[in-house]
Structure formats: C-alpha cells, structure tokens
Chains A and B, each alone.
Chain A
Amino acid sequence: QQQVKQSPQSLIVQKGGISIINCAYENTAFDYFPWYQQFPGKGPALLIAIRPDVSEKKEGRFTISFNKSAKQFSLHIMDSQPGDSATYFCAASKRDSNYQLIWGAGTKLIIKP
C-alpha cells in the first residue's frame, strides 16, 4: 500500500519530442505528488508537484497529469531538450506521515540531439 511504481526504467527520446514517465500508487490517503529531477553528481531537485484536487498542472514545458480514479500520475516533458537528460523520480506523501516521501524507482531519460 505504501509503494509507488514508476515506469519506464529508462527512456530515450529524440530532441523536440515528448517524454512521458508514469507512476502508480495504491494508498488513497496520499495527497501530495512531486516529481524530482536529478543530474549526475547532484542531489535531486523539485521539478513540479501536484495535489489531487486538480487533474493537471503545467510549468513551462513540464506537465503533471493526475488521474485520481486510476491512482496514476505522469510527467510530460514537451519539446524535450538534451539538457533535460537526467534521472526523474516521482514520489507521494500524506499529511499523517508528516509528508514523508515514498519514492518511485526512477527513470533515466536520455534526449538524443
């Protein structure tokens, strides 16, 4: 019930294409869903986050789509650029666990020029 399942494990996308990474969860008490981006040699950094009262959130080229009934959320990167090449982690948390994050396993994204 505490797991967050992330797919795919790795993804190669051509420059200018759309990158899509998916996550699924089971615990309906989760109420905060962030995506983190990690470059080699760096710690993860928050990219974008959503709460379940909205179905979509967009920040620049990055969009989270959230499907509460299916218990799934996904990250879409539009017009993908080589600088987007990184590892992406989804996560979920809930208020009564002090918002301690449950992490997905990560997706290594490579954008080919």
Chain B
Amino acid sequence: EADIYQTPRYLVIGTGKKITLECSQTMGHDKMYWYQQDPGMELHLIHYSYGVNSTEKGDLSSESTVSRIRTEHFPLTLESARPSHTSQYLCATRGPNSPLHFGNGTRLTVT
C-alpha cells in the first residue's frame, strides 16, 4: 500500500548531537514537506521540495537542513541539536490533484 513513513517515531538525544529524521514515501509524489508542530498546536512549514534537487525554506525559520536526492526520500538534518528543537516533526507529500498526506511524525526531545 502506498504510504509515507517517518523514522524514528520517538528520539531522545543530548544537546550538540547531529540527528537526521527520515521520511520516505512510496506514492511517487514530487511535492514533499516538513512541518514542525508542538503536540496539538499549530503546524509550521519549515521546508518543502517540488522535486529532486529542489528544496526551499518554509515560513518558519529553522536551523535544520533538508536534501532531496531521490523522489521517495526527504531527510531532515539538525547539525547540532538544542533543547529549543524539541518538538514534533511531520513529513507530508502531495500529488497532482490530491490532498496533503502526512506521516505519523517524529517526536524529538533534546535534553
């Protein structure tokens, strides 16, 4: 079944560590997005991509970076994690004439 997968689901890590949050999709969609969301709160777009080798920053300034080397893969990296990065990170895709489809998120805690 075509879907979107995020790993890990939960991550607790110390300050200063480098982390990569994985997002992969089997739907073949060109458009992919990363949102930051404190649990149950407003969604903030931090990165998006409209295809391979295309990445843009979103509305919310973020110290994270992304890459899009393959259509199905859109990882997010924090070079040096800080407690202020503690949040939930949601990955989403959208195909032509289809709605935004979300993964179940990675809940990150930086101690």
Which A residues lie at the B interface, using CB under 8 A?
34, 36, 38, 40-46, 49, 87, 89, 98-101, 103-106, 108
Among the stretches B14-22, B39-47, B70-78, B79-87, the one at the interface with A is B39-47
CA–CA, A46 and B100, complex, Å: 7
Asked whether, in the complex, the Cβ of A45 is within 8 Å of the Cβ of B40, the reply is: no
Q: Which residue of B is nearest A6, CB measured?
A: B42
- Chain B interfacial residues counted at CB < 8 A: 19
Given A43-B90, A43-B92, A98-B50, CB of A105 within 8 Å of CB of B102: no
Select B41's contact among A46, A100, A101, A105, beta carbons within 8 Å. A105
Select B99's contact among A34, A42, A87, A106, beta carbons within 8 Å. A34
CA–CA, A15 and B45, complex, Å: 34
Asked whether, in the complex, the Cβ of B42 is within 8 Å of the Cβ of A43, the reply is: no
CA–CA, A38 and B45, complex, Å: 17
A89 CB contacts on chain B under 8 angstroms:
42-43
User: Nearest Cβ distance between residue A59 and chain B, in whole angstroms?
Assistant: 13
> How would you classify the secondary structure of chain A's contact residues: helix, strand, loop or mixed?
loop
A41 CB contacts on chain B under 8 angstroms:
104-105
CA–CA, A108 and B101, complex, Å: 21
CA–CA, A68 and B68, complex, Å: 39
CA–CA, A45 and B17, complex, Å: 32
CA–CA, A43 and B90, complex, Å: 7
Q: Which residue of A is nearest B33, CB measured?
A: A100
B40 CB contacts on chain A under 8 angstroms:
38, 40, 87, 106, 108
B43 CB contacts on chain A under 8 angstroms:
44, 89, 103
Q: Which residue of B is nearest A41, CB measured?
A: B104
CA–CA, A91 and B102, complex, Å: 15
User: Nearest Cβ distance between residue A89 and chain B, in whole angstroms?
Assistant: 7
